[in-house]
Amino acid sequence: MLSQSTLKDAFVHAVLEDILSGHYTVGQRLPSEREFAKLMNISRTVVRSGIAELAAKGVIKILPRQGSVVADFRTNGTISIVNAMLTEGFEFFHELLNDFIAARYLFECETASLAAELRTKDELTALFEALQDETEYCGASSHQIAVLTFAFHKAVVAASHNLFYSIIINSMENTYVQCLVRNYNAGVSFSEVKRRHAELFEAIRLKDPPLAKKKMKYVLDCRV
């Protein structure tokens, strides 16, 4: 028998997919708890918990004594909805992916500049170790390569000394990795990525913010 937590996750996934695919549109009233429970053969307790999670994501609005309606997730959505859309391959994926890439250029080029300015010896060591982990990996798993790539970028962000930036990248780790896996499966060269990472590391080691910013853009141009 599936646990209530598993049933809730399945319910959230199903409703989220229906909303993002356009089956339920912005402003449309959703089925009641009773109707959802009957439709999906689950308890009202599971439905109530799932509805609360969807509201927390900014996907729906709960109206007292009126039920739930679909919210405009483009203006009310949270990081969790972005993660869901990018990792699950829902509708609007290509549009959101382009926005995600554009945001990464703004965000990560700035963190590279800050890392070059503010990094400590320990943070430089952590960056070097992340680079070494990439260099020493001889496997062909796109997922493991993506994990190693993310670890290097995470180390750059940590060296920026910006807590908000660190929280952003930590909260989107799964999204980053899934997008990287897609790119590596599509033919992105890990050897080229490692070479560009090495150049970025050198700019940060030299404490040259403009060069680090330029090198991060060079890295992101590789679609990682």
Give the tens place of pLDDT for each residue, 82-101: 777 777 655 556 777 788 88
Region of poorest pLDDT, from 4-18, 32-46, 74-88, 136-150:
74-88
CATH number given to 81-220: 1.20.120.530
CATH number given to 4-77: 1.10.10.10
Task: Encode pLDDT of 174-194 as tens digits.
Answer: 889 988 998 999 999 999 999
Q: Check whether 211 has a pLDDT greater than 60.
A: yes
Domain with CATH 1.20.120.530 in the chain: 81-220
Q: What is the mean pLDDT of the chain?
A: 91
Entry pTM: 0.80
Domain with CATH 1.10.10.10 in the chain: 4-77
Cα separation, 217 vs 194, whole angstroms = 14
